[in-house]
Amino acid sequence: MSRVPNPLRLIILSIGLGLARLGVIDRERAVQTTMLAWPRIVTGIARMSKSAVDVAMVGVAVGTSAVAGVGFAGPFWGLAFAIGGGVAGGTIALVSQRYGAEAADELGLAVRSSVVLVIVVSAPVAAVFWAFPYELISLLSNNESAIEYGARYLQVVAFGIPFAGLNLVGSRVLVGADDSYTAMQVRAGGAVANIGLNAVFIFGLEWGVAGAALGTVLSNVAVTATFAAGICAGRIPGIGAFPVRVDPFGAYLDGETLRDLVTIGLPVGGRNLVWTVAEFPMLGILDIFGENTVAAFVIARRIWGVMNAPGWGFGLASSSLVGQALGKNDEVTAKAYGRDIIRFAVATYVVSAILIALFAEQIVVLFAEDPTSAEIPIAIDLVYAACVAVVFQGVASAAAGPLDASGDTRVPFASQFLGMFCGSIPLAYLGATTGLGYWGLYLAFLAETTVPAAINYWRFRTDKWKAISQSYRPETTVADD
């Protein structure tokens, strides 16, 4: 498979090779990690940029109330990624180990079972969101204008929830089989198409927030169709060969495989769900500050999403490379990959945070119709806080990678829960109700990342994840050298 030149790949590789020259990480592992991580980082940047552009388009076309409304709908849409991400967490663990062990039949069974599980879990959620959007958004605010915009967005975007979950599964199948480049082509292409559709629907047809939602739905449908065709056929014209080919007519319901997916994926989904669920009280707390603070927070979180893209790449690279090594019963190499990727991720996050901090003001003003809007200075300060906090997210994401690959997914879930509900939410509430003010929000960002970083890294250092992985390894394994 060809690899096109990419400036981001060169930047990440340069960081890795620089660390290798300093003796911080192994050179070969730096190269392998870069090759697997950079396409996923591009995908993350594309998707988060799409989300940021959505908010910017809505803000310019409709105004602050619409931005707040889309923000209120955000945690509901986030359930799609919590559900799909949970199943996909089980998928990448099973696929990477079976790919490393060359167990093709078991790999196919894991993929088909993942598809069934995503559909069964996400379809009822989509139905509820379509039927009761106004009632759901009303739980978060009494701002009638924002509620109206949020309900309109949620009702349309509900149709995309099952497809968003299937997209995550399709992506993890390829990443687990050592091919994040193809996954990047498909999902980043979908994100670019989403931006184009939104421009037509929001500005051309003047459909406002409903247009933004429809663009999201249609792009997710297209990406799902591409993954399905490519994985079933083994290739897609214009994209090339896929690393795996799965027979769509094989068995879909295997009790043991489904149990493994649920056992591994439930804590992963719970971890993803922590932030989604936490958004509900967080947005309620922000509503105490006022509409401008809600809009500022939504803007800052979109920028945070772009900054956090390296964590997706390094986390999934770690899951894939560690999982493949575990599939070969090579625990020494598995830990070496985990250790080096954590160091690599932190260095990359530092570079990302510095760049965003330098241009924070110029970036934030892109999200408003009026650069002098009241939410702009609030959002800028929140972005500065996010730049400090996001460095610790590098530790949390990269350290969770080996745990996910091994099936030791409960600890990352617990760490994220503690960070959000015992740190971030209480601090934000104190800011809204005491003299702490906006410092409560700044500290909330920091608590959200430092607690998971400390706990995930501690768990990685204990090596307990190696023993846990033995119960999930395929029956057919490659013998130790």
The pLDDT assigned to 167 comes to 87
The pLDDT assigned to 480 comes to 46
pTM: predicted TM-score of the whole model, two decimal places: 0.67
The pLDDT assigned to 392 comes to 93
DSSP 3-state of 241: strand
The pLDDT assigned to 218 comes to 92
262-279 tens-digit pLDDT: 777 777 677 777 767 777
Break the chain into its structural domains and give their ranges: 7-469
The pLDDT assigned to 394 comes to 86
Q: How many residues does the chain have?
A: 481
Spatial distance between the Cα atoms of 299 and 213, rounded to a whole number of angstroms: 17
CB 145 within 8 A of CB 72: no
| DSSP classification of residue 407 | T
94-113 tens-digit pLDDT: 777 777 766 777 787 788 88
Q: How far is CA 389 from CA 24, 255, 277, 347, in A?
A: 23, 41, 20, 14
Spatial distance between the Cα atoms of 465 and 182, rounded to a whole number of angstroms: 29
375-397 tens-digit pLDDT: 788 889 999 999 999 999 889 98
Amino acid at 107: L
Residue 101, Cα to own-chain centre: how many angstroms? 27
Q: How far is CA 323 from CA 97, 109, 292, 315, 333, in A?
A: 5, 17, 45, 12, 10
| DSSP classification of residue 441 | H
Q: Which two tokens stand for residue 23?
A: 């003796």
The pLDDT assigned to 52 comes to 64
The pLDDT assigned to 431 comes to 92
CB 107 within 8 A of CB 327: no
Name residues of the chain where pLDDT drops below 70: 1-6, 44, 46-56, 58-64, 80, 101-102, 268, 275, 368-372, 472-481
The pLDDT assigned to 62 comes to 64
